[in-house]
Structure 1
């Protein structure tokens, strides 16, 4: 509550320039999380390029990328955040810099990646610099591929040991697409599953972690020898090793020990086909690749026998003697509960112990306290990421207490010398919030985007609320509500009934440029977003309850919510309701279309949703459908048939807008095309939008603009807020 009031007070000081709209949201600065200098102690004042002196004890860096619609270009700038005062100043870093890490002889020295390389097309360069001196970056390495994911530590000798990742050939060398001669044929032949993933066809290359050393010599630091591929020694008997794990893995999939001698990384289980299993293991390997990697928690390790699933967040303790990580039990279930583990490391030997094993929560990121006694972990509760402290030797029955509240939604954190955390967060009313908080201290806000970005001016915390209602099978269901800026209870508002994707994911009070719920509300609607059966962060049993139950309990949850709104929310006109959803949410829309609830909506919107369960095996990650349908199509056909929307096609009658993109390999485009063809054949008002260059998500700004324009026009038209549908650019017969 204290943080909410602080943000509200700051926002009231900002003059609203214009209403929150699509163009503004897409152009507004997109800021990275804040990266604080390691010790938080500065040796001298920082001299800015403008000659401005600021003296602070704790300094953080973050990047900011804005878009200019007129020029059609993005611009990236880097900024300092004074953690003591909250002052923000521009940093003297070139816009071509993609990553910066604090490392070196002083507390103000950095190593960074520049995304260009004059010597090698497609390569990158590494530079050292010190903000505490005259800023004079020095080239220390020219790398021959588009490496990213920089992590680095300084050793006792003064050398810097670092790790990066890149695609690599089968022989282990780094892959650089710009140096490859294109084949005359575009044909690709496969002999195993996983021919494509997310939005890309799989090629012969795999991502790998590479290690390198910057050693001291005449003239300063320079690259010593060649980079070494640390995954080469993993025996991929069925699945070749890959780190980061695609499609969303990043530098969080590996970590360097504080002395720079050992690297921990995770990769998919080499003995299992990765299309059918989620299992992955943590490995440790010498930074110099002098020995083959050894699995910490794979088969034959000291890890508990039940720990067979996906692994995450390997993190070294401050003394380098322990390694914390999280792992699931389920070998083919991506939404199983993550449990905490700590491995005692001696060379390449590991002894694994469980931590707070009975805690019914799923940690997603981990950091060690400065004294190595506790783990600071992020875990979701009630659709919001919270920060917890867990003793590294906690008994199974230990229940951690949360440090942070429900809003804003935590994205990342860094520990400060004070014992507090510098937290990067967001909400539906602010795209980035930086604040500090500790176990016994109140939140102290340093920065909130909506107080400085004209594009977000006018957004306030009080535009969002939530309530609980009794779902279809008696469970308590949390629902988030979003209001337009001119909301008043004296008006009867049309409503948007929003169904989130996953299904094992949540949609709470967090910022998004793809599904910004405040922007939907600003179209003149009150938006309701239920966290229905299957949503994580409400206990693992609640998440598991959607298995083989896709349109059973969740559909009854939707019916119960609609009835609750009809009976209890006087300011909503349920006769002017629309429903929308993406992925699983779109599947639910397609299911609703064929059932009684569908007749209560004036219009529907489905984005990349499944309409044909018998085509489920066209997806990429087979473990997902086989788990959620509790079997295979050939042995358990009835599990697929029972939740097939097309079975109820004769009931389709509500106007529906369909989006389905060409590069969507999660839910293939034919599902959307088939649905559109059926609706058109039945004479149901419908439109179909696709983007040839987009996948499951629409990420291009120009494409996103079109997406929003057409969908908002569609929902506003069918509830009487617009007089006609968009005609320009629409293809007809």
Structure 2
């Protein structure tokens, strides 16, 4: 089968540019205005959203038809987690206005915001009941405490301790970037008209488990039923198996009696994101099928609360949903999912399971629906996020905001396109290329070969805050990204195919993909290339060093796995290696040895930059130190950059600037790249 570069006119940037256009820099990326916390009003006529610009974030109201906009807040604090009351008269949000993070209410008819909660602990998240009468908040507490004051006392006790030891009797000892300290996320419910500490009831009192689950989940894991009489949340059952099980269940609390029931005890895998239709008939949620596998397909489950019957909605749809919510008609489920290098928004009819595509090109983020209109954020490889609105039937798409129009008008972006080729087993594999800024026909350009992490992940058509492909294009590189076997968004079998095959199938895809696109696009100089990646992408850099050692001029390894056995014993979420390596190191040592980069150090000869965050507990610092030690002892040109205050990601702006400077300087040195102008690489 002949494969060619896909002609995606909707994806490629315009080549006609202003005379004074300049390449994108990391300073530009950091300084971009950011739209966030967007919701649509219940009547579908207006959007309310946060806009961060010039270091200040405020809330705005905008008419979706006329485009008229007004500023709602001007407080130095940042408002987030925005909700509009069911009658459209008020907006709720989280903010810290001198009393810690609390819930506030702002009347849309005029007046000042007033606090809804007056709690002695920070509120990390909240959700209102559909009728607006109750509120649930998330706080971090000592699980056995029966009062908030007890948790405050426990905080003071730990802070005042003169010795510095940490003691543990079970895992997790640490998670993502935080050492366990005994506090857990619990949910507290009260009447909206209450708000004081004594009014809130801990519906998880005594449970040594988190909801929302750490480290990344939010209030999408919590939902009131349609009449506000019950609360459903996702959590693991208390126990010592949390680091190696993915068995999250949905727990229903009767708010009148306090009785709690496990609604999904029959599923030993992951259940998440409960949501209810407004008419009280349905509960929908996401469910995986296989225990111990975080990247299994999230099925869309639907339970008829009248009959008690549960079924999978659209079982033939081979995509993994990652968020869902009922529309106000109670008959439509709005769902986001990855799809062939995009991240789209879809509408499902709950009666028949038929689906409509609302947005497919680019990456859809958050969404909100009111009166049949859907507001959503979307970005792409060459366009940061803005808001769009569309009817839930797929008509009337319109861009609502242009928050960076002034900042982008003088910036030049590289054209890009998606392509496909026959990879491992002659199966179709997809990727993207991005042309260097200032591209000249007939010239060849050095390659930045970006390898995504996960490994069940994808760079996709997405404006990335950290691994931004346009920044390499701005620095004069041809960018190539391959969604190798194991990547998400190409069907579950494609994602599953990396299990037990960390080093062979993905490597074959990377080799074939780079060779294919260099032949298709002669401006891509595959003989003058550097490969770089983070996490599993960093693993692949270490693997390439020992198993494709004659291809690249240089390598960049960010927080990459170096020694799979030591990695297992020092990481935190053990279900990752136990699934991907098909067992533990003592039960399947051969698998860990087979795909262990440390076993091929004798072949290392390519110059490598090693970057690691000291607070990375997912891939601990020892992995980066091990790779650097191997390089130094082998006499291979190498450089180590360590960030004491970063985790698995580089999040601090000043550190991001240094990161790109180090990476681009390393690549320039080894490829001989001197274009474009130096100011593009500051």
User: Same fold by TM-score, threshold 0.5 exceeded?
Assistant: yes
Give the secondary structure class of the aligned counterpart of 1:574: strand
**Distance change (3 Å), C-alpha of 1:345 and 1:179:** farther
1:373 counterpart = 2:331:
yes
Instruction: Quote the Cα distance in structure 2 between the aligned partners of 1:153 and 1:456.
Output: 43
Structure 1 equivalent of residue 246 of structure 2: 278
**Distance change (3 Å), C-alpha of 1:652 and 1:434:** same
| Equivalent position to 2:559, from 608, 622, 625 | 608
Deviation of residue 494 (structure 1)?
A: 0.7
Instruction: Quote the Cα distance in structure 1 between the aligned partners of 2:354 and 2:81.
Output: 36
Q: Would the aligned equivalents of 2:33 and 2:404 in 1 still touch at CA under 8 Å?
A: no
Structure 2 equivalent of residue 109 of structure 1: 90
Gaps of 5+ in 1: 41-57, 68-73, 216-220, 300-306, 727-733
| Equivalent position to 1:251, from 207, 212, 219 | 219
Question: Per-residue displacement from partner, 1:628-652 (whole Å, max 9, x unpaired)?
Answer: 0011111110000001112111111
Structure 2 equivalent of residue 729 of structure 1: none
Q: Would the aligned equivalents of 1:25 and 1:455 in 2 still touch at CA under 8 Å?
A: no
Structure 1 equivalent of residue 355 of structure 2: 400
Query: Counterparts in 2 of 1:257-276, with a 5 A limit?
Result: 257-270=225-238, 273-276=241-244
1:128 counterpart = 2:105:
yes
Deviation of residue 223 (structure 1)?
A: 5.1
Q: Relative contact order, CA 8 A, sep 6+: which one is greater?
A: 2
Q: Would the aligned equivalents of 1:472 and 1:559 in 2 still touch at CA under 8 Å?
A: no
Give the secondary structure class of the aligned counterpart of 1:403: strand
Of 355-364 and 104-113, deviating more is 104-113
| Equivalent position to 1:149, from 125, 145, 150 | 125
Structure 1 equivalent of residue 175 of structure 2: 197
**Distance change (3 Å), C-alpha of 1:631 and 1:497:** same
Structure 2 equivalent of residue 52 of structure 1: none
| Equivalent position to 1:387, from 329, 345, 368 | 345
Instruction: Quote the Cα distance in structure 1 between the aligned partners of 2:161 and 2:23.
Output: 51
Q: Would the aligned equivalents of 2:556 and 2:610 in 1 still touch at CA under 8 Å?
A: yes
| Equivalent position to 1:137, from 93, 113, 126 | 113
Deviation of residue 719 (structure 1)?
A: 0.9
Give the secondary structure class of the aligned counterpart of 1:210: strand
Instruction: Quote the Cα distance in structure 2 between the aligned partners of 1:365 and 1:591.
Output: 34
**Distance change (3 Å), C-alpha of 1:425 and 1:644:** same
Q: Would the aligned equivalents of 1:100 and 1:110 in 2 still touch at CA under 8 Å?
A: no
Structure 2 equivalent of residue 182 of structure 1: 160
Structure 2 equivalent of residue 228 of structure 1: 201
Instruction: Quote the Cα distance in structure 1 between the aligned partners of 2:162 and 2:494.
Output: 52
Deviation of residue 431 (structure 1)?
A: 1.8
**Distance change (3 Å), C-alpha of 1:89 and 1:377:** same
Structure 1 equivalent of residue 653 of structure 2: 701
**Distance change (3 Å), C-alpha of 1:191 and 1:390:** same
Give the secondary structure class of the aligned counterpart of 1:598: coil
**Distance change (3 Å), C-alpha of 1:603 and 1:92:** same
Deviation of residue 8 (structure 1)?
A: 7.0
Give the secondary structure class of the aligned counterpart of 2:617: coil
Question: Per-residue displacement from partner, 1:259-281 (whole Å, max 9, x unpaired)?
Answer: 32222110024467111111101
RMSD of the alignment, in Å? Answer: 2.7
**Distance change (3 Å), C-alpha of 1:434 and 1:103:** closer
| Equivalent position to 2:584, from 601, 624, 632 | 632
Gaps of 5+ in 2: 1-5
TM (norm. structure 2) is 0.91
Give the secondary structure class of the aligned counterpart of 2:530: strand
1:171 counterpart = 2:138:
no
Structure 2 equivalent of residue 666 of structure 1: 618
Q: Would the aligned equivalents of 1:429 and 1:459 in 2 still touch at CA under 8 Å?
A: no
1:713 counterpart = 2:681:
no
Instruction: Quote the Cα distance in structure 1 between the aligned partners of 2:127 and 2:269.
Output: 26
TM (norm. structure 1) is 0.85
1:512 counterpart = 2:499:
no
Structure 2 equivalent of residue 468 of structure 1: 420
Structure 1 equivalent of residue 628 of structure 2: 676
Q: Would the aligned equivalents of 1:369 and 1:415 in 2 still touch at CA under 8 Å?
A: yes
Question: Per-residue displacement from partner, 1:210-251 (whole Å, max 9, x unpaired)?
Answer: 112123xxxxx8659421112227xx6xxx321111111111
Give the secondary structure class of the aligned counterpart of 1:714: helix
Of 361-370 and 606-615, deviating more is 361-370
Instruction: Quote the Cα distance in structure 2 between the aligned partners of 1:545 and 1:141.
Output: 49
1:296 counterpart = 2:254:
no
Q: Would the aligned equivalents of 1:464 and 1:480 in 2 still touch at CA under 8 Å?
A: yes
Give the secondary structure class of the aligned counterpart of 2:512: helix
Structure 1 equivalent of residue 67 of structure 2: 86
Structure 2 equivalent of residue 599 of structure 1: 550
Of 87-96 and 696-705, deviating more is 87-96
Question: Per-residue displacement from partner, 1:372-392 (whole Å, max 9, x unpaired)?
Answer: 122121111112221222222
Give the secondary structure class of the aligned counterpart of 2:602: helix
**Distance change (3 Å), C-alpha of 1:505 and 1:87:** farther
Structure 2 equivalent of residue 414 of structure 1: 368
